[in-house]
Amino acid sequence: MLPNKLNLHQSKSNNIKDVKLRSLLEMTKAINNNVTTAQLLDIYQDILENRLNVGKLVLFSFTNEWTCILKYGVGSDYNHIDFEPELLDIKEIETISYSQGNLSKKFEIVIPVFHKDTPLAFVLLGDIDEKKLQISSAIKHLPFIQTLTNVMIVAIENKKLYKNSIQKAAIQKELELAQSMQQMLFPDALPHIEEVEIDALYLPHQQVGGDYYDLIWINEVEFVFCLADVSGKGVAAALLMSNLQAALRVLLKYTQNLSEIVIDINELIYNNAKTEKFISLFIAKYNIGTRKLSYINAGHNAPILINKNQPILLNKGTTLLGVFNPLPSLDTESILVLPQSLLFAYTDGLTDTLNSNDETLIEDEIKNILFKNIKSNASFINKAILYYLEEFKSEMPFIDDIALLTCKFH
């Protein structure tokens, strides 16, 4: 090669390198300035179309599915471009050789972009014109295009991750607020007095659960206590449960009749939840002077009352609340509670827990634990039930919220 031609070739080669270097710096600067994804794609298109003279391009990226995020140089018949699964088999830059679909007919080269073993993007190129930059072969551009695409796609992925992290942080904040609200629903203290001792234990399956217990004194010798479970979980369940608590406390100021209270709560839930959610509820009133226990069970797991060593299931009442309005039937039962009796109430998370054999905890096993520990205090009994459940399920996870409430009548 003659010296002047050599110099010309070197000059044009340097010009190509300068174009690529300036383009890469421009993209990096745009990323550092946190420009939008649309602006990054505009810069990318300008570099490939106007500086490297790539005549046709399609860029696929993956979010929840493979999507075409950029295309130019193609006709109106390519207004909608479907991702062709054969592209996933391509691991290196290569000419298109697969035979299915329209893309293989329109484009000549595929550039895959991977992060480790995960495909992030695929660039399809066609009609590359190297004449304007006077290079000997279009293939020389391809490693640079792959690098440029990689830089841009990683930046776009980081934007998605950042946006997701912001959204997750906001959701987490809402959950923490709902969790705080839910904790406020539970009573600050339960009775540990000469006549009666009550203890409750609550294990939410998620940050915000749908179980609820409460105890409200209505005068010096009588109190109402309840245990409830909302269908569904999360914030919506917690909000509905807060409505239940508020309604219960307001109603008790006007009436201590359990039937009236349950009827009014059912109407509230029916109107607010529009039958999309419902609540199971066990509600009882106890008089420490007369030792009379009155209760209504609204579709809840039947609490177990061990009264003078006789187990009684407290199952009289009505259906789930929020399903029918008016309620199809409603019964109330009253029982004289003898000294040294025990009442154990729970939500269905206890008996729905599975072991490795796909078995659930049965009622008789609960009764056995209660009889073995009947002389223990209420807190110990709740812990004994939970310990047995942990042993029963072994490595299996909890699948629902669990609430336990134990009353010892002295």
pLDDT confidence of residue 2 = 47
Q: Does the domain formed by 3-163 have CATH 3.30.450.40?
A: yes
Q: Which has the minimum average pLDDT: 10-14, 47-51, 225-229, 356-360?
A: 10-14
pLDDT digits (tens, 9 = 90+) for 302-312: 999 999 889 99
Q: Three-state SS for 244?
A: helix
pLDDT confidence of residue 66 = 92
Contact 77, 85 (CB under 8 A): no
Would the pTM of this model clear 0.95, i.e. be above it?
no
Domain coordinates in residue numbering, the chain: 3-163, 186-409
- Closest by CA to 223, choosing from 247, 183, 187, is 187
State the greatest distance between any 2 C-alpha atoms of the chain, in Å, as a whole number: 118
pLDDT digits (tens, 9 = 90+) for 149-194: 988 988 888 888 777 777 776 656 666 665 665 666 677 778 788 9
pLDDT digits (tens, 9 = 90+) for 352-372: 888 888 899 889 999 999 999
Q: Which has the minimum average pLDDT: 1-15, 30-44, 187-201?
A: 1-15
Q: What would the two tokens of residue 105 be?
A: 């007919």
Mean pLDDT of 336-358: 92
Q: How confident is the model at residue 76 (pLDDT cuts 50, 70, 90)?
A: confident
> Taking phi first (over 0 means left), then psi (-120 to 50 degrees means alpha), and beta for anything else, what does residue 127 get?
left
Give the residue with greater pLDDT, 3 vs 385: 385
For the chain, the average pLDDT equals 84
Reduce the secondary structure of 116-165 to three states and give it as a string.
CCEEEEEEEEEEECCHHHCCCCHHHHHHHHHHHHHHHHHHHHHHHHHHHH
Give the residue with greater pLDDT, 188 vs 196: 196
Residue 10 pLDDT greater than 60, yes or no: no
Class of domain 186-409: alpha beta
